Chains A and B, each alone.
Chain A
Amino acid sequence: MFGWTLVSNSTDLSAIPVPVGGNSPTRRAWARFRRNRLGYWSLLVFCAVVLLSLAAELISNDRPLLVRYQGQFYVPVLQDHAETTFGGDFQTPTDYLDPFIRDQLAQPGNWVVYAPNPYGPKTLNYFAKSPNPSAPSRDNWLGTDDRGRDLLAQLIYGFRVSVLFALALTVTGVVLGVLTGAVQGYFGGKTDLAFQRLIEIWSAMPELYLLIIFSAVFAPSLALLLVLLSLFGWMGLSDYVRAEFLRNRQLDYVRAARALGVGNWQIIRRHVLPNSLTPVVTFLPFRMSGAILALTSLDFLGLGVPPGTPSLGELLSQGKNNIDAWWISLSTFAVLVVTLLLLTFMGDALRDALDPRKAEQ
């Protein structure tokens, strides 16, 4: 097929350093990510924390994980058992913090495996030894809030809600932002003009008022918040992506691809998009932390999640109301700071990993 002879001078390739970290581009990207120690450890810690919080029911729960009572096994973490099951008087679901039930389960032959932190996010400890909010003690490791709910449990569940919400908000925001930015930047001209005016009008809408109005009209829920925040969250990113596309689409490699006959969609996907993602990736962790903060502040104002949902913002507002209960504000603040820091460190490492031009020494 290639019958012709080799043409002229080959150049010396041995001068090029052999890349480290295996050969495939993905593995090299991973190697670059790992080289950023701080980011790598942040990723490990963050993943571990998120995984733990996903299994929050096993870690912090007012229902025991496993009960052996009079020769029978019960799994209260999965199903309700009436108090009568354990020798109580009522048909209501068992309160496992009740000293009577505890005594029953502690009788010879019976045993019980509690979750490490034996409180759920909504558990009210009616049997607390000190008034609410109570300071950290052996019973409540981080103390309780002003309604007697365990703070550690609240933090674990609140963190889970925040992270999942932020993840969803970030994904929708990035997808919408990149899509609109790409369309504006790549096609330019009248498309760009129309979109820009639309964005200007849209961004002039008072977001906070809309949230207040909507939270008055509809029953507040996480899904409603997600939709409302997504409607306004994509605009900032789309401007950056648009600018990158405008710059990249007239570079020679895009021209070369057009000369090869590559279609618009392929050019966007293979050539322009990967080279325009730097701002997206750079903003990713900040968007994530921004989303956590947005949810937190809406909760703080009382416009966020429905009452009863564990939330960091609600805890902060409690901390404000009970300023002498330092453990509430301090521990919530610590959780927020550590989360946001981890996200930022991961963002730095991610940016390095996605840029193959970063030196691989």
Chain B
Amino acid sequence: MTEPLLTVSGLRVRFAGRDVVHGIDFSIAPGEKLALVGESGSGKTVTALSLLRLVQNASLGGTATFDGQDLLSMPERALRGLRGQDIAMIFQEPMTALNPLLTVGEQIVEVLQLKMGLPRAQAWPKAIQLIADTGIADAATRANAYPHQLSGGQRQRAMIAMALACQPRLLLADEPTTALDVSLRGQILDLIGSLQHKSGMAVLLITHDLNLVRRFADRLIVMEGGRIVEQGPVAEVFAQPRHSYTRRLIDSKPERDLAEVAACELSIVAQARELRVGYSVPLRGLAGWFRRGEFVAVQGADFQIEAGRTLGIMGESGSGKSTLALATLGLLPSSGELRLGELTWGASTPQNQRMRRTMQVVFQDPFSSLSPRLTVEEIVGEGLLVHEPALSAADRRERVLAGLREVGLGTDGDALALLRRYPHEFSGGQRQRLAIARALIIKPDILVLDEPTSALDVTIQKQVLTLLQGLQRERGLSYLLITHDVAVIRAMAHHVLVMKDGLMVESGPVTEVLQRPLQAYTRQLLAAAD
């Protein structure tokens, strides 16, 4: 066994008198691919950042020996020499990690000038070479592009080029693929893998995605609540997880548990024909002064939602799937035919209200979908104020409590205290339950689920999906489920619709589409998810 490149022992991170990381030990060998896995709040990102002392207002304890020097106690000036040179870092969101006012080429040249002392004339071709190495086509012209002119994947590639500019011996990759579309995630990870292979650097990959770990890492560390609960070779841990938390993580793949309704007794609750949504956008150049162009977000969408069943809409970001959901909810103007039962949007206000009552929505981000200044009672009870204004305050409270119990909140403890809490006092999963309770309180027939689990941790995702499945069985709800996650589609949907660039690429029963995809694009999506 070779000498480890980095040995961490007894690492503690403390914020404002509260320990976030409770004395952890691990080491990375040169050229090793180590994955640090855990859910949000487990302390994995803080651990990585504290190795470079990049966490503000934290007091650090323990040692982190890199190449014979203790990173945690060495002088700031010496550490600055190591950062970027021997230890480089890639962040989750390349849009905010790159400087928007400099071209990506200039940013890489800056690193080369600063760290390697190269003159500008030599640094520029080297920067282009680095960009080309990360698989960006036409690197010489792309080097002159500003970050906003690149796609998400290209930006992350440029980040990687920048991180690898000085041939670091250790790369800290903090959720490098989380902000990217599924089909890009694999590509970026493969890129890191091949560059790692070429240069022989060690990689510390921080992620919550076990698929990526299985695909990428040699060894795995599982963190929970600031402690390491398990570590070992990837194959071993996946085959025989010893700790219960690891088992929960591995088992968190959502399961299909649906009432299969016989095809003959299906009634159609919503139907769309040739649905089209366009935005008016300013034209470029002089023409923009006189007329406005149109950006078509969704075009020619045909679908129907059947009672008690789920229609899944799958696609990457920008494919128009969320626009389609908003148009179905009547929140965006659309053309074409869209019926809920016998009703269409926009005929009259009372009719719109009747339709609103039959269709409700749950959004992706539970942090922005609940008004931070309203209490739970006000949030959940709002629909009753609109649709059953005759209800007395006491009855309304009763209904709110019943609705909360239904989503698994307030079954223990003081239910009345629960009503007076504000959203920020709940965890992400609980907030998502609140959002579901708000939608269900007026007893709609259709629930639009816009990425209902993508902002949640994996174990919470499973809980929320189980809850949704249960509600569908009990109440015969129909779901319009929008997601990029094939596992969620597999667990939830009866019928699938694949969208790309505003067009429907493929549709059919879930078993058929997932097992025998007809289109190349669908196959690509499915392959990326495995």
Contacts and interface: CB of A to CB of B under 8 A. Distances in A.
Interface of A: 1-2, 4-11, 13-14, 16-19, 23-25, 28, 251-253, 255-263, 266, 270-271, 274-275, 356-357
B373 A275 contact: yes
Given A13-B412, A23-B420, A357-B422, A261 B352 contact: yes
Contacts of B23: none
Contacts of B372: 275, 356-357
B495 interface: no
A253 B409 contact: no
A5 B412 CA distance: 16
Given A16-B426, A260-B386, A261-B353, A8 B467 contact: yes
Nearest to B435: A256
A260 B363 CA distance: 13
A344 B529 CA distance: 55
B382 interface: yes
Nearest to A250: B368
B interface, how many residues as a size bin? 35 or more
A8 B371 CA distance: 26
B463 interface: yes
Nearest to B387: A261
Contacts of B368: 251-253
B356 A255 contact: no
Nearest to A359: B424
A11 B430 CA distance: 7
Contact of B363 (A252, A274, A275): A252
Given A13-B413, A256-B363, A260-B360, A24 B370 contact: no
B451 to A, nearest CB: 11
Contacts of A255: 326, 331, 361, 363, 369
B493 to A, nearest CB: 19
Contact of B470 (A7, A11, A357): A7
Given A259-B360, A261-B353, A356-B422, 14 more contacts: A4-B474, A7-B407, A8-B470, A16-B421, A19-B421, A19-B425, A23-B420, A255-B361, A260-B356, A260-B360, A275-B371, A275-B372, A275-B373, A357-B424
B30 interface: no
Nearest to B408: A10
B356 A261 contact: yes
Nearest to A24: B420
A352 to B, nearest CB: 14
A271 to B, nearest CB: 5
10 smallest beta-carbon distances between A and B, as pairs = A261-B356, A252-B369, A7-B470, A10-B408, A252-B363, A274-B373, A10-B411, A356-B422, A253-B371, A2-B402
Contacts of A14: 412-413
Contact of B382 (A23, A260, A356): A260
Contacts of A274: 371, 373-374
Contacts of A262: 382, 385-386
A354 to B, nearest CB: 8
Contacts of B430: 11, 13
Nearest to A251: B368
Interface in B474-527: 474-475
Nearest to B354: A261
A321 B351 CA distance: 73
Contacts of B439: 256
Contact of B467 (A9, A28, A356): A9
Nearest to A18: B417
B356 A11 contact: no
Contacts of B410: 13
A356 B424 contact: yes
A2 B438 CA distance: 16
Contacts of A19: 417, 420-421, 425
22 contacts: A1-B402, A6-B408, A7-B474, A8-B466, A9-B463, A10-B408, A11-B408, A11-B463, A13-B430, A23-B416, A253-B369, A255-B363, A256-B435, A256-B438, A259-B330, A260-B356, A260-B438, A261-B356, A270-B378, A275-B371, A275-B373, A357-B372
Nearest to A263: B386
Contacts of B420: 19, 23-25, 28
Contacts of B352: 261
A261 B435 CA distance: 16
A259 B374 contact: no
B224 to A, nearest CB: 15
B425 A16 contact: yes
B442 A260 contact: yes
A283 B43 CA distance: 38
B357 interface: yes
A274 B417 CA distance: 22
Contacts of B424: 356-357
B241 interface: no
B433 interface: yes
Interface in B385-427: 385-387, 402, 405-413, 416-418, 420-422, 424-427
Interface in B159-208: none
A201 B91 CA distance: 47
A25 B422 CA distance: 9
Contacts of B375: 25
A263 B409 CA distance: 28
B418 A13 contact: yes
Nearest to A262: B386
Interface in B342-356: 352-353, 356
